[in-house]
Amino acid sequence: MTTTADDLREEVRRRYAESALAVTEGSAGCGCGCGSGACCGEEHADAASFGEALYDAEQRGDLPDAAVLASLGCGNPVAVAELREGETVLDLGSGGGIDVILSAKRVGPTGTAYGLDMTDEMLTLAVQTAHDAGVTNAHFLKGVIEAIPLPAGSVDVVISNCVINLSTDKPGVLTEIARVLKPGGRLGVSDIVAEDRLSPAERAARGSYVGCIAGALSRGEYLAGLEAAGFEDASVEFTHEVADGMHGAIVKATKTEAPAERGLPVIQPAAKAGCC
């Protein structure tokens, strides 16, 4: 049976809904998602390569337990995004809200942190964890990362934590990121990236799509995609190996061309799923 893009998206949504419910129902030790291990049939990577282990003790101490338990990322994008007071930051695939909360604290009361997620259960959890953290400048939007529900040129920084690899339309994601960024805006994401020597079939042999392995871009593909979307000064830095030839990576780039000059459509903001 052929697996379609819609099938893959639904599988990702279901896995992350299960993870959110595992946290809210008190069984977070077996949440499903990137790096979830044998709980969900994935045995491709050490648990230390994903999730809460990638945040330092001070950061974890500033967060509600639920936000930490729901972390399924492959890095710590807030640590490399160089966020500044008063900026607007967008987290793609915000999950339980850990990176949105940390970003909201970094940009301060004059800044804004948005989280975008397609999973109702994760959005509900994120709204609660942001409230518990006492942040008042965090807002959560429902939507997909291929069609970001924010206007063009409205964001200073886009971050993401092990989510872009889950999209079946990565050029569309990179184009959307470029659209919503202001001229000079920055991209700073954590993701799973393959060495250029691995073919798509070889990547698929190392793990599943929903486990954040099979859908990963190679370093060369990532850099070419960023250039095509209108970014410059792009870099992909491997940080730790999660499978043979597959790495957690920090991806950075700068958007210099105004979205209006590229003729990209403007998408008006959607109703917020909740805010604190």
Q: What CA–CA distance (Å, rounded) separates 272 from 97?
A: 14
The answer to whether 233 and 254 have CB atoms below 8 angstroms apart is yes
Please tell me the predicted confidence (pLDDT) of residue 252.
Answer: 96
User: Hey, which residues does 187 pair with through a beta bridge?
Assistant: 158, 253
Q: What CA–CA distance (Å, rounded) separates 144 from 159?
A: 15
Please tell me the predicted confidence (pLDDT) of residue 198.
Answer: 94
CA–centroid distance for 79 within its chain: 14
Please tell me the predicted confidence (pLDDT) of residue 197.
Answer: 96
Which H or E run includes 232?
A: strand 231-243
Please tell me the predicted confidence (pLDDT) of residue 213.
Answer: 73
Please tell me the predicted confidence (pLDDT) of residue 16.
Answer: 60
Q: What CA–CA distance (Å, rounded) separates 42 from 136?
A: 37
Burial (Cβ within 10 Å: 0-12, 13-18, ≥19) of residue 249 = buried
The answer to whether 62 and 133 have CB atoms below 8 angstroms apart is yes
Q: Please write down the long-range contacts of 29-33, taking CB distance under 8 Å and 24 or more positions apart.
A: 31/69, 31/70, 31/72, 32/210, 33/72, 33/95, 33/210
**Regions of the chain where pLDDT drops below 70:** 1-3, 7-13, 16-75, 208-212, 214, 257-276
- 88-92 and 231-243 as β-strands: parallel, antiparallel, unpaired? unpaired
Please tell me the predicted confidence (pLDDT) of residue 28.
Answer: 45
Q: What CA–CA distance (Å, rounded) separates 142 from 272?
A: 7
User: Hey, which residues does 181 pair with through a beta bridge?
Assistant: 155
Q: Which domains does the chain have, with CATH numbers?
A: 5-275 (3.40.50.150)
Tokens of 121: 């259960």
Q: How many CB atoms lie within 10 A of CB 88?
A: 19
The answer to whether 82 and 158 have CB atoms below 8 angstroms apart is no
Write phi, then psi, for 34 (nearest 5 degrees). -55, 130
CA terminus-to-terminus distance, the chain: 44
Please tell me the predicted confidence (pLDDT) of residue 189.
Answer: 94
